[in-house]
């Protein structure tokens, strides 16, 4: 059930805090996803290397040219890497669920009143337009990664395994330019709002400071780069 537009300043402040926390969590989920994507690539590379070695060794054994390597040791290492990959996919699923919850929080707190500006410059409707396509892209990427994992063991070609690893890492359903813009815009909006809030708090507690609420671009940029 959608809630009505907040009617008091206290309610607006509370809702602003809730949405800010939701967006901050969303940004953390996105950052965590990217880190897991990098680790997944490394794990898949390790798996591919062992798979190719074991299959080459099997051919040598059949031809009677094997040098007596011990595949059991490699299989144990392979199992450890594959277990980690499955854990990574499970964590990606959890992160995506968290991203969807963050978006749901924003959309339900204000219902149809997303035109309100809670933070620095952007209305909530614009923030939603930034968050939603990223969530949708990550949903497609998760499905893609699951398909890669389900078929990875079926191939013995180095070229095909390399292609699958590249698809995992490059994330073809995510436009890097749009992704950087959307995520950067959300992060900047929260950072600018935090900077302005800190300045207003300083002005409220120090009578010697100016009461103006206008801040120079250089001040805000310096804060964002901290």
pTM: 0.80
225's torsion region: left (phi>0), alpha (psi -120 to 50) or beta?
A: alpha
Are the CB atoms for 77 and 50 separated by under 8 Å?
A: yes
Question: How is residue 50 annotated by DSSP?
Answer: H
Confidence band for 59, pLDDT divided at 50, 70 and 90: very low
Does residue 96 surpass a pLDDT of 60? yes
Contact by Cβ (8 Å): 44, 165: yes
Residues near 147 by beta carbon (within 8 Å), at least 6 away in sequence: none
Task: Identify the pLDDT of residue 7.
Answer: 52
> How far from each other are the two terminal CA atoms of the chain, in whole angstroms?
40
For residue 69, pLDDT over 80 is answered with no
Confidence of residue 215 (pLDDT cuts 50, 70, 90): low
What single-letter DSSP state applies at residue 152? G
When pLDDT is cut at 50, 70 and 90, the band that residue 121 belongs to is confident
- CA dist 20 and 120 (Å) reads 12
State phi, psi for 179 to the nearest 5 degrees: -60, -50
The percentage of the chain sitting over the pLDDT mark of 70, rounded to a whole number, equals 76
Question: Do 78 and 51 touch, CB atoms closer than 8 A?
Answer: yes
What is the model's pLDDT at position 223? 47
Question: Among candidates 175, 182, 34, 25, which has minimal Cα distance to 104?
Answer: 25
- pLDDT value of position 55: 81
**145 confidence band (pLDDT: 50, 70, 90):** very high
Mean per-residue pLDDT, 35-41 = 98
Does the structure show a pLDDT above 60 at 56?
Answer: yes
pLDDT surpasses 90 at 158: yes
Torsion of Cα atoms, 13 then 19 then 21 then 26, to 10°:
-170
Give the residue-averaged pLDDT of 66-75.
68
Return d(Cα 75, Cα 165) in angstroms, integer.
20
User: Would you state the structure tokens that stand for residue 174, as one six-digit string?
Assistant: 């995510």
């Amino acid at each position: 059930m959608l809630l009505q537009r907040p009617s008091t300043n206290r309610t607006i402040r509370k809702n602003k805090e809730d949405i800010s926390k939701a967006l901050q969590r969303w940004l953390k989920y996105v950052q965590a996803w990217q880190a897991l994507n990098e680790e997944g690539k490394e794990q898949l590379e390790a798996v591919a290397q062992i798979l190719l070695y074991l299959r080459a060794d099997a051919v040598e054994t059949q031809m009677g040219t094997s040098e007596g390597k011990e595949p059991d040791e490699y299989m144990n290492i392979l199992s450890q890497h594959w277990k980690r990959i499955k854990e990574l996919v499970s964590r990606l699923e959890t992160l995506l669920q968290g991203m969807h919850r963050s978006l749901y929080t924003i959309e339900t707190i204000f219902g149809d009143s997303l035109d309100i500006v809670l933070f620095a410059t952007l209305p909530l409707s614009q923030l939603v337009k930034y968050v939603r396509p990223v969530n949708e892209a990550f949903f497609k990427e998760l499905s893609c990664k699951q398909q890669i994992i389900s078929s990875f063991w079926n191939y013995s070609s180095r070229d095909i395994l390399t292609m699958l690893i590249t698809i995992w890492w490059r994330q073809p359903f995510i436009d890097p330019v749009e992704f950087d813009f959307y995520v950067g815009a959300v992060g900047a909006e929260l950072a600018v709002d935090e900077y302005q809030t800190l300045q207003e708090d300083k002005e409220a507690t120090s009578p010697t400071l100016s009461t103006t609420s206008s801040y120079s671009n250089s001040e805000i940029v310096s804060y964002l780069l901290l």
